[in-house]
Structure 1
């Protein structure tokens, strides 16, 4: 009976790890370049428009005269979603956070294709912050 308790605990721990593993996106093979690169469904101009319309320029950054381009690298998954955003070119933590916050607001992409199959592909998105004189 003493071993039954340990067996149950070990089984529960293994179940938790299995559940955690199934919840993860398998992105171990993410290409930098594909035969057909991902494309925003509504076109590149609309992508830039959606970023510009949805990004929130932090007031503290405006007051501190902080501007520039943040580059966010995402993975375009096989369903056309932009996932796992990370900053690859930083300007300032305030602008970095604002750039990351806009990614979930974007629409879908046509996924990258390799050998006529959708694949995971890295995709860089520039997010501009420009101060406007009043």
Structure 2
């Protein structure tokens, strides 16, 4: 049994209004993969090139928004959590974390934590959408949480992982197997200490609850 409903892949592409971006014409492309809805401004001459505003939705709520220039994230981007609350804001031009929920702005000048380059909802949903509740754990009424730690180097690359908090051998193994399959394309902002990038950890909490089965 899945913790969350199966991940459907139903690509839908809608091409909308044509706009001008500088000397190049752009248009709006909307894609829906069954989990996320992506709205991107792209070049009319090459729809694979994002050029302009970009918004990602989950269940009707914005989880990521910002701008691209020639497929590169530029300017200020905002990333939201599952409840649609702003999690953090990052300026790609200045390479600076501008705001992080629950953290004083002055503290960010001293140190910043490791962050997923996107909504924190993305790695969380990847895990729960690909996890199954082991039958034996269900029969034994095992409930609780597992905390997965991704070890991220100063370049923002994941090089290892481990479980900070374990729950049950079968559940722990299931989480570790899904963690091994995480996309290599994912990028992270490394932790910083007085402006210098350092190695750090990114934690993901996965709740196992028999009532949601």
Taking structure 2 as the reference length, the TM-score comes to 0.41
Query: Which structure features the higher share of helix residues?
Result: 1
Partner of 1:96: 172
Aligned partners of 1:120 and 1:133: how far apart in 2? Answer: 36
1:71 alignment partner, SS class: strand
Match of 1:123 in 2: 202
**Which structure has the larger Rg over C-alpha atoms?**
1
Question: Would you say how many aligned residue pairs link Structure 1 and Structure 2?
Answer: 101
Which gives a bigger RCO, structure 1 or 2 (Cα 8 Å, sep 6+)?
A: 1
Q: Does 1:47 align with 2:126?
A: no
Shift of 1:133: 6.1
Runs of 5+ unmatched residues, structure 1: 1-33
Give the RMSD, CA atoms, in angstroms. Answer: 2.4
Map 1:14-29 → 2, pairs under 5 A: none
Q: TM-score, normalised by structure 1?
A: 0.60
CA contact (8 A) 2:154 2:197 kept: yes
In structure 1, what is the Cα distance between the partners aligned to 2:187 and 2:208? 23
Q: Deviations over 1:20-73 (max 9, x none)?
A: xxxxxxxxxxxxxx8121111121122322222122322322233222101123
| Cα distance, 1:87–1:61 mapped onto 2, change above 3 Å | same
Instruction: From the superposition, tell whether residues 133 and 55 of structure 1 become closer, same or farther in structure 2 (CA, over 3 Å).
Output: closer
Query: Which 5+ residue runs of structure 2 have no aligned equivalent?
Result: 1-109
1:65 counterpart residue number: 141
